Amino acid sequence: MQEILLVEDNESLNRGITLSLQNAGYQVSSAFTLSQGREFWQNKEFSLVICDITLPDGSGLDLGREVRESSSTYLLYLTALDGESDIVNGYAAGADDYITKPFSLMVLVSKVQALMRRLAHQEERLSILVSGELELNPQEMKVYKKGQEVLLSKKELQLFMYLLENAGKILSKESILERIWDSEGQFVDDNTVTVNVSRLKNKLGTDEISNVRGLGYIWTGKVVKK
């Protein structure tokens, strides 16, 4: 379950937000002061921090800066400060979103869900992909075979990742070109995919990339994420 840190000194609003987020399936740690928020932050890992700015013992912007300095955790400010400079300061302090009071709890929950979906997608993209003796680490942008690094070009690595992410599916030459090359506006000829697939197979030393005549290419090996 995804963990959320809520720092809000208004007890009624804190309870309302906490209950709404829990009903939406999230685990919430509720703090009412800056010091309580800091204590939670230092002792637990959170996917999202929701923080009021005007707190009884300091500014939530300070906690936001601390969060941003040490992590990429999503940060959402709740505040009655709605001036242009206030909003600019909030984003300057690392906010991913900024909600001014009063606000709808339904809107807040919707924003949280959108942020969490984005986080889940990013985590999915960063999962290490393993197929037999081969391992692709998207975060490092490196490929290993039996623990030894296999040196691939940027395009070969992107092609390998695209095949692994769609293991068991036939990928047409057109879809491969669009995904790997056309996104950068590069001029490529009809043999680009064929040549790069051949190079990739040789470098990986694998027969798991199969050519389905007239349709495209498919990664036939089993892929697991870790």
Please compute Rg for the chain using Cα positions: 23
Q: How far apart are CA 157 and CA 136, in angstroms?
A: 9
Q: How far apart are CA 192 and CA 181, in angstroms?
A: 9
SS (H, E, C) 74-131: EEEEEECCCCHHHHHHHHHCCCCEEEECCCCHHHHHHHHHHHHHHHHHHHHHCCCEEE
Find the angle CA(215)-CA(221)-CA(226) to the nearest 5 degrees. 125
Residue 145, SS3? strand
Q: What ranges do the domains of the chain cover?
A: 3-125, 129-225
Residue 217 has a CB neighbour count (10 Å cut-off) of: 25
Residues 6+ apart with CB under 8 A from 22: 28
Q: Report the C-alpha dihedral over residues 21, 25, 26, 30, rounded to 10 degrees.
A: 40
pLDDT at position 28 = 96
In this prediction, what percent of the chain has a pLDDT beyond 70? 93
Q: How far is CA 28 from the centre of its chain?
A: 20
pTM: 0.57
If one looks up domain 129-225 in CATH, what number appears?
A: 1.10.10.10
**Cβ-contact 8, 101 below 8 angstroms:** no
pLDDT at position 32 = 97
Residue 19's Cβ-side half-sphere holds a number of Cα atoms within 13 Å equal to 7
- pLDDT tens for the chain, 226 residues: list them: 679 999 999 999 999 999 999 999 999 999 999 999 999 999 988 989 999 999 999 999 999 999 888 887 889 998 888 778 888 888 888 888 888 888 899 999 998 998 888 777 666 666 789 999 999 988 788 999 999 999 998 889 989 989 998 999 999 998 898 888 765 445 566 688 899 999 999 999 999 999 998 899 999 999 898 8
Sequence-distant contacts of 54-62: CB under 8 A, at least 24 apart: 54/9, 54/79, 54/80, 54/81, 55/7, 55/9, 56/9, 56/32, 57/33, 58/34, 59/34, 60/7, 60/34, 61/89, 61/90, 61/93, 62/34
Find the angle CA(114)-CA(119)-CA(121) to the nearest 5 degrees. 95
Residue 63 has a CB neighbour count (10 Å cut-off) of: 26
Topology (CATH) of 3-125: Rossmann fold (3.40.50)
